[in-house]
Chain A
C-alpha cells in the first residue's frame, strides 16, 4: 500500500503550494490527499490512515490544535506524524503545539526544501539530489 500524506489548510493557495512542494514524493509513489477543514481532515485520517499530516492551525470551527489533540488521543491514530504548519509564531503557540502532541512545529512562510526533506524523512523516501 502506498504511503499517504494529508495536507490540511482552509486556504486553497496554501494547499496548492504544499502539493507542488511535495510533488517529488508523489513521483516516488506517495499519495497526496487534501482537506480544507478540521472535520474533513479527521474523516480522511480515519478512512485513509495517512502516515503524515501537514496541519494548519488557524482554521474555522475546529482549529489545528484540536485536530492534533484528537489524533493523538486516538490509540489507532496516535502514531500519525503531525506537522503543525502555521503563521502563529509566539512561544505560547509552540508550547501549545507540544502540549497537544504535535511532532513538529513549522512557521509560514515555510522553507519548501525543509518541508520536503522532513516529509521524505518521515516517509522513509530517498529523494534525488
Chain B
C-alpha cells in the first residue's frame, strides 16, 4: 500500500488553491495539519482542541482543525488523498515495468557478441540483481561429461546461495533445480522448507524462483534466484526471469557452439600434422568423442645385414606406409627409422582394432621382404581427444614407444586402455609393467 505524504500530495495535486478557498469560505476559519503537527494549509492559530483526524484506508495522515465545516473539509481531503494514492500506485506499477523493460534491453545489448559462458552468466546476474534487489542468484549449466548441473557463477547475499559456497555440482535428479532442468518449466517456490531435499543453513534461503535455460530443443541449465523472505516472488517476477532466461540461453547456446567450434579447430590444427584431410574429417565428425590410437615401430629391426641400408629403409618405409594407410591410419615418420602411425576415429574400439590389424600385417609384410626382412616389435597406445585440454599426442607416442622398446621382434604390445576396449575381441596376455617417466605402465601382449 502506498504511504500518503499529505504535504507532498497537496503540493503535487494542484488542489491547494481549492482547499484554501474552501477553508476561507467556512464560517469558522480552519487549517490542515500534517502528522508532525505542522500547518500545511490555512490559519496556524486555530485551537488544536477542534481537530478532526484525516484517515485514509485506516491510516491517519493528518488533521483538519476548525469549526463545523471542518468535517466537510476532511471528507474532501480523504477523497483527494485516496485518488492520489491510487494514482501513485499506478505510477509505481509503470515505473516497475520501465525498470523491467530497461533490464531486458540492457541485457540484450550487453550480451551481443559475448561468446564466453562465464561472462554471459555474470552479465545476466549483475543486471537482474539490480532490479531484483536483496536476492541471490546463480547460473548452472548441465555438463554432459559429469552428468551434473555445474555452478557456473553465483551472486548476491551469502544467504542467496550458501549451498553453492562449497558445492559446485547439483544432481539433475534432485530438488527444485533438478525438477526445473528435467521438466523445462519455470517454477516459484514460496517456502523451501517444504521441499523434500531442503537443507537448512545458518542464514536459510526461504523462497526461490528458477527458470530453465532453453537453447533450442535442449535445456542447457537453470537460472535461479533466491531470497531469505518466504513468498518473495510473484507471477510478474516469474515472467521477467523467464524472459531473462530466454536471452541468456540464446547467448549461452552461441557461446557453447563457439567453444565446440574452437575445440574442433584446435583438434584439426593438431591432427593436420599427422592425418590426411580425409581421415581428419572422418575423425572429427564427432569432435566430442574423437579417439586416436598410436602405433610405434622401428623399421631398422632386420634379421640380417644389408648392403644398402638406406634403400632397405626406404623399401620398408614404403611397405609400412602402405600397410598403415590400408588400415585407415596415417603415417608420420619420426627420426628416420622410427615409424609413428595414428589411427583416428570416433570409436576407440574401431581405432584399436585397425591399429592391431595394421601391426600384425606390418610384421608379416616386413618379415617377408627379400631385400631387408626382419620382424619389428610394435607398441600401441590409445588416447582420447574429446577433452577440454589441447590436443597433445606426445603422451600416447611416448607410451607406444616405451611399449615397443620393451617388446621383441614380432610382438605387439598395448597399454591398458587398448586392452580394456578389446578384451572381448582380442586375446591378450599380461606382461611385466614398464616405467615411463615417473609412472608405471601396464603392458599387455597380443596373443597370436
Contact = CB atoms under 8 A, between A and B. Distances in A.
A20, A21, A26 interface centre (most CB from chain B within 10 Å) = A20
A89 B130 CA distance: 24
Contacts of A129: 133
A17 B94 CA distance: 8
A71 B286 CA distance: 66
A16 B87 CA distance: 9
Given A26-B8, A113-B130, A20 B95 contact: yes
A127 to B, nearest CB: 13
Given A17-B91, A20-B91, A20-B92, A110 B8 contact: no
B88 A111 contact: no
Interface stretch (B98-106, B152-160, B189-197, B400-408): B98-106
A109 B8 contact: no
B43 to A, nearest CB: 25
A111 B106 CA distance: 10
A121 to B, nearest CB: 16
A26 B7 CA distance: 12
B35 to A, nearest CB: 15
A109 B102 contact: yes
Interface in A5-63: 16-17, 19-21, 23, 26
Nearest to B130: A113
Nearest to A26: B8
A114 B102 contact: yes
A48 to B, nearest CB: 15
A109 B88 CA distance: 18
A23 B12 CA distance: 12
A19 B13 CA distance: 12
Interface residues of A, number: 14
Nearest to B106: A111
Interface in A92-115: 109-114
Given A19-B12, A26-B8, A109 B98 contact: yes
B98 A112 contact: yes
A17 B8 CA distance: 15
Contact of B98 (A23, A26, A111): A111
Contacts of A17: 91, 94-95, 98
A38 B324 CA distance: 86
Contacts of A23: 8
A71 B87 CA distance: 33
A126 B153 CA distance: 31
Contact of B91 (A16, A26, A109, A110): A16
Nearest to A21: B95
A110 B88 contact: no
A113 B98 CA distance: 10
Nearest to A31: B11
Contacts of B98: 17, 109-112
B126 to A, nearest CB: 13
B256 to A, nearest CB: 30
A17, A21, A109 interface centre (most CB from chain B within 10 Å) = A109
A109 B101 contact: yes
A73 to B, nearest CB: 32
Cβ-closest 9 pairs across A and B: A111-B102, A20-B91, A112-B95, A109-B98, A109-B101, A112-B98, A16-B91, A112-B99, A17-B91
Given A111-B99, A112-B98, 11 more contacts: A16-B87, A16-B91, A17-B94, A17-B98, A21-B95, A110-B98, A110-B102, A111-B106, A112-B99, A113-B99, A113-B130
18 contacts: A16-B87, A16-B91, A17-B94, A17-B95, A19-B12, A20-B88, A20-B92, A23-B8, A26-B8, A109-B101, A110-B102, A111-B99, A111-B102, A112-B95, A112-B102, A113-B99, A113-B102, A114-B102
